Amino acid sequence: MIKKKEKKTANKKKSNEEINQNKQLIRILSFFLLFFGFFLGSYFYFQSQNYFKYAGLDFRKEKMGEINFYHARFPIIYRGQIYNIHNLYLRTDPRKNKVPVNANFSLSEKIIISLDEEIKNCENVVLGQVNLAMFLWAFPWVKNVTLASTNKELAESNNFDFADCSNASDLKTIIVVKKANKSLIEMEKENCYRFDVANCEYLKVAEKYIVSVIEQINSNNKNEL
């Protein structure tokens, strides 16, 4: 009887040890599952911050050195067919670019970008001009993109082109860039647009124009202006 009781006690003790071990194993597995779930959740959350949709485009945040770019691919549709895929690289997050726009855009075969003399001294004006010109050249019906000055006397004395809204026509789109207290994109008249640039943020205004043109094209459901 004593041996049977000792055996029963030993079995009960062994059973309790197995239960405790199982509980400990469950705690360890639960911890790892929780940690793994947190890790995956964090990974996908931060990854999602690098991808977003805006103006009908799929943007991806990319880093080159210490500089962030917002990259998207925009199909240029011409006569019902894809003519080109334009790679768009923005320095400003388009979701946070709050430059006001009051315009209905069109692009003629000749485009003149006429700059105020004070704008030419801005640090990022060259980058803004390059981005804007590359975007405009992507459209097959645009045959010519040139620079001009808003100062007629200075343009004549330096053998440079002068242009303002009086030069706009069906075959010629004018973009007048001027220094202002508040950044704004305004349609002065048909085929003439004014970029008001505050605090030398010409690049930001130029990028807003680019995104706004794309947004208008996509809203037409034809991918054409």
Report the alpha-carbon distance of residue 4 to residue 27 in Å, rounded.
Answer: 35
Q: What is residue 6's predicted lDDT score, i.e. its pLDDT?
A: 53
Q: What is residue 120's predicted lDDT score, i.e. its pLDDT?
A: 84
User: pTM for this structure?
Assistant: 0.78
* pLDDT at position 76 over 50: yes
Summary mean pLDDT of the chain: 84
Helical H runs in 111-157? 125-137, 152-157
Q: What is residue 103's predicted lDDT score, i.e. its pLDDT?
A: 95
Q: What is residue 8's predicted lDDT score, i.e. its pLDDT?
A: 52
- Using DSSP bridges, classify how beta strands 110-115 and 192-197 pair: parallel, antiparallel or unpaired: unpaired
Contact between residue 44 and residue 35 where contact means Cβ atoms under 8 Å apart: no
All structural domains of the chain with their residue ranges: 1-43, 99-219
Instruction: Tell me the helices (H) and strands (E) count for the chain, helix number first.
Output: 4, 10
More confident residue, 64 or 178: 178
Report the alpha-carbon distance of residue 145 to residue 194 in Å, rounded.
Answer: 16
Residue type, 36: F
Report the alpha-carbon distance of residue 103 to residue 69 in Å, rounded.
Answer: 26
Contact between residue 98 and residue 185 where contact means Cβ atoms under 8 Å apart: no
The region, left, alpha or beta by phi > 0 then psi within -120 to 50, assigned to residue 135 is alpha
Distances (CA, A) of 143 to 27, 107, 136, 137: 70, 11, 9, 8
pLDDT digits (tens, 9 = 90+) for 158-198: 888 999 999 999 999 999 999 999 999 999 999 999 999 99
Alpha-carbon Rg for the chain, nearest whole angstrom, is: 31
pLDDT digits (tens, 9 = 90+) for 77-120: 888 888 989 999 999 999 999 999 999 999 999 999 999 988 98
Q: Which residues on neighbouring strands pair with residue 84, listed in sequence order?
A: 76
Q: Which of 193, 188, 216 is nearest to 206 (CA)?
A: 193
Report the alpha-carbon distance of residue 156 to residue 97 in Å, rounded.
Answer: 36
Contact between residue 193 and residue 105 where contact means Cβ atoms under 8 Å apart: yes
Q: Average pLDDT of 116-139?
A: 92
